A and B are shown apart, each in its own frame.
Chain A
């Protein structure tokens, strides 16, 4: 008999339709429901159950914990990285360990949301949770994203709510030359089916023109007319139409993919979108929301901030938490070889920049690696210690933060193949503390690192 369980793979970070995982008799799996990202994550569960490529540090958990603690005790610049696919509590444990070690900690995926975080910290953001957008928005501006197909739950209005019969109009910004969603007058809108909802206005934007378009829209909603007949490939008349619809909406929602604000100039785009939404509130209600970096990046950032005051890239090397995106992040600590010990917690990658993008790696020798998670990070089989853990949302319970800041429960439908990540971090922390005490007792003059 196949085992069928409801799972919540910690993957898309959005309200997602339920995902079901079937473990078939032959040990293979079948995944139904969910969005593509969640299905892919759930399907990878089979990999998680396979033997790891390499497991050093002894077999028993306690031996591995001891080996990990010994590495960290000797480390001068330890770096904890990952956490973006872990339960929220893991980030708290990671912050506690980093504080004890005098190391640094960062979240995998946080760099993707870096521009949006900068915009938030600069000007704020008028936002809303996804349920509120679903139930109230009468205009959606989808900026280089269209979650209607992958996440219909974001837009299906339950019949009980007062706005159930009011369909939202949709304006999309798409790359020029791509096949746009069906544009038209929205004559079939009342039929329901959010995923099939028509698009009312399409703005085909040339590559690299997002900033110009965002600034122009902001100018137009503030009654300032941009110069020229088109901006970034979008005719000014169409931009005027979009701006007018935003102003006339009762409750507009601007959603964008984090990729739209990543890369060169992404900061300015994020700032412009935040300010566009802010300015629209002088005329009507408007909320804005990036769709987030996926996984539990939002929850981990909030947990890190609650634990040490800052949401990412925090160093405890000076004894007090210091905030340093660009300094205490993976690109620097791993990519430039500044860390001499890595604790990779639920990480999917090494978090490095591409070789060509690195300012120069300092050859300080290979960092020792402690990998904790359901599987080793991709392309990485050199862990000194690998502790296989249960999978959050599949075989380990917990909670995770969605992109809108709400926390949801992660169920554990299947028995765990190992301890939870938070348990492992707690055990390592206790072991490091024990080593410190022992070391101090033997040599009271030796300073703690």
Chain B
């Protein structure tokens, strides 16, 4: 039991915008009241918020493992060890994180990694946008089968959500198809350029893949909609394809991830300019859509993506070392270390575009803080980004010193908006919780998980968010003044999709066994995450819709 007394409570989900009050904690949950004898934490003058949520990060699984092998020079800056990952997140007041890209066949090892990350609750998104079996269902227009497959796959992998990364494009890169977006030049460069929305790859088009997956997810009532990494990541001029894609999916709830990397105008890197205003405008007029930003931070980064052709393009553009892994007819993986430099045109424009998206999307409930860790930079930069959002003068100062392209090719200089504390709580807590369908997170109402952070309000916003006075996870004080004082074990959150029953289920699984044994070299028996492998699992129920 714990009573947090007289704090300034910032809990936007419950309409509390800084009024002074108490938060009561019992049995790891927020409760209505406590006996007068309950221990007290004096929070007078402190800001009290729910624990923060990172709904898009890359911290576990073979791709991150490969990045550690590839980049020993990183020294943990962007690729902290598993235990440090949990500690660093918790130290900043983050209590829930989502690993955003795991191949189904790699789910077992990804869960083993997640299990070794202390303190925070976590889950993982399963990649399906280039999965040969899923593409087969879509190609044959067997959408009921696709829905059952999505349910089976999430169940077998204990996944939380469905991710599609460059749908169709990765398969095209592997099988040698050239899309209409193909640039002239060597064949492989054209391959890497990727398909347009209606280009056929393996008998399907990106448009059909995305629509079918979004529909299956909606039909299953999964807590989080399709988590979509669109085609054309990083390409100058990709905003047009992004807008086409968004328009194609406007009937479905979709989360568009790391939107910054998809918001480019121009035709060449030297001509790169922002089209963030167009994309933000579209988001503003489509209330079912949510986005996370993928903000770029200046300094070294390690780019890790299932979008293997995009990573090849980055390697060719920068000349940096390149790791690729084509993965069992399920997905791809590319890794390229990178540096975002203030003095570099492309880096500076990318940095400004991310901030534009934050500031031009009107509704903070639908735009969330991410760096696409470690692609845009490490998650440990979140406090610095919060400062950029809350302090217009500081932002202007940085804009003045970076490459002039950030001023000339974006409209950031003309944006006066400053985020309020309430809005910061929304983009880092309440909004992600709602988008993930986590009813117990992102707020401090009765029944919520007692994931609570106490901050000392300060003019130094970055320091305030980097070093909370206290971090509480499930009612246990785990952090004080930036130090971890207790290392608890977080939950693994997974979806619990409805499955076919009885004979229909048996027949379906027999067919899936044949498909998996055809496409992978892993035995079917070894494919699912076994019962008992997750030491503290929590199913998030589905809400099937007709």
Contacts and interface: CB of A to CB of B under 8 A. Distances in A.
9 contacts: A128-B327, A129-B325, A130-B521, A131-B519, A134-B521, A287-B324, A306-B65, A309-B72, A406-B328
A250 B173 CA distance: 11
A127 B315 CA distance: 15
Nearest to A288: B324
Contacts of A160: 514-515, 518-519
A323 B325 contact: no
Given A159-B518, A161-B329, A287-B324, 8 more contacts: A18-B523, A117-B69, A121-B71, A136-B174, A160-B518, A309-B68, A406-B62, A408-B526
Interface of B: 62, 64-66, 68-72, 75-76, 79-83, 105-106, 108-109, 112-113, 116, 132, 173-176, 186-189, 191, 202, 312, 315, 321-329, 335-336, 514-515, 517-523, 525-526, 530
Contacts of B75: 309
Contact of A135 (B109, B336, B519): B519
B521 A131 contact: yes
Contacts of B520: 131
A160 B116 CA distance: 38
B189 A282 contact: yes
A175 B173 CA distance: 35
A332 B530 CA distance: 41
A251 B176 contact: yes
B326 A129 contact: yes
A123 interface: yes
Contacts of A158: 517-519
Interface in A348-380: none
A250 B187 CA distance: 10
A154 B76 CA distance: 35
Given A281-B312, A282-B186, A283-B186, A132 B328 contact: yes
With most chain A CB atoms within 10 A of its CB, the pick from B186, B324, B336 is B324
Contacts of B68: 302, 305-306, 309-311
A15 B321 contact: no
Interface of A: 15, 18, 88-89, 92, 117, 120-132, 134-136, 153-154, 158-162, 250-251, 278, 281-285, 287, 301-302, 305-311, 323, 399, 401, 404-409
Contact of B112 (A117, A136, A159, A399): A399
A319 B70 CA distance: 24
Contact of B323 (A127, A162, A309): A127
A381 B323 CA distance: 43
B353 to A, nearest CB: 28
A284 B112 CA distance: 36
A132 B69 contact: no
A129 B104 CA distance: 14
Contact of A284 (B81, B187, B326): B187
B323 A125 contact: yes
Q: Which 5 A-B pairs have the closest CB atoms?
A: A158-B518, A15-B521, A128-B326, A124-B321, A407-B109
Q: DSSP majority for the B interface?
A: helix
Nearest to A96: B83
A131 B80 CA distance: 30
A285 B70 contact: no
A319 B300 CA distance: 25
Contacts of B518: 158-161
Contacts of B335: 124
B176 A285 contact: yes
A130 B132 CA distance: 16
Contacts of A399: 108-109, 112
B326 A132 contact: yes
Contact of B69 (A130, A251, A284, A301): A301
B76 A132 contact: no
A135 B517 CA distance: 12
B329 A283 contact: no
B187 A407 contact: no
Nearest to B322: A124
B93 to A, nearest CB: 24
Contacts of B65: 302, 305-306, 405
Contact of A131 (B72, B81, B315, B329): B329
A13 to B, nearest CB: 12
Contacts of B83: 307
A159 B71 CA distance: 39
B174 A132 contact: yes
Given A131-B520, A135-B519, A399-B109, A123 B72 contact: no
B81 A307 contact: yes
Contacts of A308: 81
Nearest to B323: A124
Contact of B187 (A129, A134, A283, A287): A283
A250 B175 CA distance: 8
A136 B132 CA distance: 12
Contact of B175 (A15, A88, A124, A136): A136
Nearest to A311: B69
A284 B519 CA distance: 22
Contacts of A88: 109, 112
A282 B517 CA distance: 32
A401 B515 CA distance: 23
B72 A405 contact: no
Contacts of B108: 399, 407, 409
Nearest to A250: B176
A124 B244 CA distance: 35
Nearest to B106: A406
Nearest to A247: B187
A121 B522 contact: no
B306 to A, nearest CB: 13
B72 A92 contact: no
Nearest to B67: A305
Nearest to A163: B175
A177 B83 CA distance: 53
B329 to A, nearest CB: 6
B112 A89 contact: yes
A129 B521 contact: yes
A408 B522 CA distance: 7
A302 B69 contact: yes
B325 A405 contact: yes
Contacts of B328: 129, 131-132, 406
A323 B73 CA distance: 10
Contacts of B109: 88, 399, 401, 406-407
B116 A92 contact: yes
B127 to A, nearest CB: 14
Contacts of B132: 161
A159 B519 CA distance: 10
Given A135-B329, A158-B518, A285-B188, A121 B324 contact: no
The winner among B65, B82, B322, B515 for most chain A CB atoms within 10 A is B65
A122 B321 contact: yes
B268 to A, nearest CB: 19
A412 to B, nearest CB: 12
A129 to B, nearest CB: 5
B322 A306 contact: no
Contacts of B113: 306
Contacts of B105: 129, 406
